[in-house]
Structure 1
Amino acid sequence: MSHFDGKVALVTGGSSGMGAATAALLAKGGARVFCAQRSASAHDDILADLSDPTVPEQVIGEVEKCANKLDILVNCAGLMREGTVEESPLEDWHTQLQVNLTAPFLMTRYAMPMLRKSRGAIVNVGSIEGLGNNPRHPAYGASKAGLHGLTRAVAVDHGPDGVRCNAVAPGWIDTPLNEDFIASMGDPQKFRAEIGSIHPIRRTGAPEEVAKLICWLASDEASFVTGQIWTIDGGRMAQLSLP
């Protein structure tokens, strides 16, 4: 694979899960990869707490200082806290919207001058919860729906600049967060079988499967693709529940 030779990529949330898989695939394809998150990754790290609205400008500034260009921005960092609208503290609402929606907005804003020069690509990691909702996820669902809307807006506004912007909407993916959740169940093996059964292909997804779609959207092979939300969920959203 050499789709990304000479390219510079920035992946937020690149230390684990879908972000780590994406960063690894971009690097394998020849890109220089920067990862921005609170913990270390296997690539050029920019330690960053994206719940702080001043941080995105600092992250982009660091990439510009180190590489003087940016071709690919992947907004993957995310946060989910449970609770109905009655149960959720206002702080939880603000934090989830900051990390899941405002941080990608600010990353895009500050990256745009470099992306305009490179005629680059943005891929946002949304969720099927931007299309439907699981119980007790009001802030998470709202933030992901907002991210899908932001994706379309950026595509429309900056398509004339040569910048493409798409999003992926993953379903249940075997990230460390979801694996910990399964392990906390009384019967993890039974729960895994049950969660697999809600997918037509009868299993959950792997981070690498999402990473392949992200990297295709970021590549020149997708040069006429922009403003789209790509659902990757093993058919879960297509399958109706039994009557």
Structure 2
Amino acid sequence: MELDGKVALVTGGGQGIGRGIVDRFLAEGAQVAVVQRRELGEDLLQHPGVLGIRADLSDAAAIRAAADQTAAHFGGIDILVNNAGVMFERSIADITLDEWDLMMALNLRAPLFLAQAALPHLQRRGAGSIINVGSIEGLSANPLHAAYCASKAGIHGMTRAMAVDLGKDGIRCNAIAPGWIASELSENYLESQPDADSAREALNRLHPIGRVGQPTDVGDLAVFLASDRSGFLTGEIVVLDGGRTAKLPLPF
């Protein structure tokens, strides 16, 4: 198995993209600490390879405690996945300072300080992999997403900088920039359209591969980035969007 004997800390791993990553890590033999604000579901809580940690990632003290608890429970940390975040829509005219600060605290500040908290544990291993979850919206934009796009573009830039700074410790850092990944939220959005079937078909047509992504698609890529097979890959932003951003739109 690709991650046999490895210990991973994954934020926001209880659902969506994070759950896809956790499921694939467990299948590949890793032990996983899942850090998030909400309680984990029973299936993960009962899994012998999972440690659930409830923490508010906007709290710097909670971030360090989560990393130390993971290392104490499993004996170290080999992999950090910064997946947790928040997304909301606000116009430039309407966004408030508090909303901006919350977006940056969860989407951008928490990943940096989780990396800082995990760093001594990764250094003791002599190597490691940090995976940040960015977005195609760190490269392009949807309407009303100025704060979200800024946070994800920041993640991409920070990933490159972390790769440069941490390479001397044998720690690689890469980012995944997912496109449309199926989730309960996205399914609810499609079902809210006047013609849900037509909306779903139109969405699939946006992707040259003919479908939207699944959480396990992100998990598969995360396994590769976390494993020794990607040992010469660092500082990269890997777009995972079924070819959506590679396809130029036609005017008809």
Encode CA deviations 1:100-144: one digit per residue, 9 max, x unaligned: 111101100110111122201001110000011111001110000
Please report how far the alpha carbon of residue 54 of structure 1 lies from its aligned counterpart in structure 2 after TM superposition: 2.9
Please list the CA deviations of residues 175-225 of structure 1 after superposition, one character each: whole Å capped at 9, or x if unmatched: 222222222223222211111121112211111111100110010000000
1:33 and 1:111 map into 2 onto residues whose CA distance is 14
SS of equivalent to 1:91: helix
Hey, what does 2:190 align to over in structure 1?
182
- Aligned-pair distance for 1:86? 1.0
Partner AA of 2:234 in structure 1: T
Query: Which residue is 1:108 aligned to?
Result: 115
- After TM superposition, the score normalised by the length of structure 2 is 0.93
Residue aligning to 2:79: 72
Alignment correspondent of 1:157: 165
Match among 78, 81, 89 for residue 88 of structure 2: 81
Question: How much is the aligned-residue C-alpha RMSD, in angstroms?
Answer: 1.2
Instruction: Provide the rounded CA distance (Å) in 2 between the counterparts of 1:238 and 1:57.
Output: 39
Show structure 1 runs of 4+ deviating over 4 A: none
User: Given residue 230 of structure 1, which amino acid in structure 2 is its aligned partner?
Assistant: V
Of residues 142, 146, 154 in structure 2, which corresponds to 1:146? 154
- What's the CA shift for 1:25? 0.9
Cα distance between partner residues in 2 of 1:88 and 1:203: 33
- Equivalent residue letter for 2:224: W
Q: TM-score, normalised by structure 1?
A: 0.96
Contact 1:126-1:144 within 8 A present in 2 as well: yes
Code of the residue aligned with 1:92 in structure 2: it is: E
Give, in whole Å, the separation in 2 of the partners of 1:127 and 1:145: 8
CA distance in structure 2 between the aligned counterparts of 1:79 and 1:171, rounded to whole angstroms: 16
Take 1:176 and 1:138, find their aligned partners in 2: how far apart are those partners?
A: 24
> Comparing 220-229 with 79-88, which one deviates more in the overlay?
79-88
Q: Distance in 2 between matches of 1:192 and 1:54?
A: 43
Taking only the aligned residue pairs, the percentage that are identical comes to 45
Question: How do residues 1-243 of structure 1 correspond to structure 2 at under 5 angstroms?
Answer: 2-39=1-38, 40-41=40-41, 42=44, 43-118=50-125, 119-243=127-251
Kindly state the Cα deviation for residue 53 of structure 1 after the two structures are TM-superposed: 3.3
The answer to whether the 8 Å contact 2:36/2:54 transfers is yes
